[in-house]
Amino acid sequence: MKKIAILLEDLVEDVEFIYPLYRFMEEGYIVDVLAPRTGEFLGKKGMTFHASKRVDPEMVDYYDAVFIPGGYAPDRFRRDKETIEFIRSMYKKGKIVAAICHGPWALISAKIVKGKRITAFFSIRDDIENAGAIYTGKPVEVDGNIVTATDPKAMPEMMKILTAMLRER
């Protein structure tokens, strides 16, 4: 049984959190919502979401993938040492690391993008390139175990790719 961690913080882009949550559940995966603290979080569009577990870098071996939604949440993820270490450790262990929209900001802070092909919302292109990555601007990009996407319109393609990658592991 595959286990997925979805990161959560205040001002997450609602659809970029909820769509993968239910899509992974539809596939039969165990899905945990992780955040710097447990409890309620407010989405950018006003929905309320719940994190049942705190992010803990020691939990990396338990998960097969981490999904990082966008909105303003990634700027908050960047400020949390445990969240960044969790992402970095997932990457180093060859686990799938997925990020959409502004989510690659967290990948930059985890220092895992140098030399990688990355896509994201166009407004963070400079950040991606300044971190040494190659910004492609494609709706979805896969480079090794990193999967990135631009925005909610890219989510169906992104989720097809992610579920296929998870089936192969």
Nearest alpha carbon to residue 72 among 124, 5, 20: 124
DSSP code of residue 51: E
- Residue 63: what residue type? Y
Contact present, 89 and 60 (Cβ < 8 Å): yes
Comparing CA positions, the residue from 169, 165, 168 lying closest to residue 67 is: 165
Query: CA angle at residue 125 from 163 to 122, to 5 degrees?
Result: 70
Q: From the candidates 23, 78, 102, 116, give the one annotated as an active-site residue.
A: 102
Task: Say whether 50 is catalytic.
Answer: no
Q: Which residues are catalytic?
A: 102
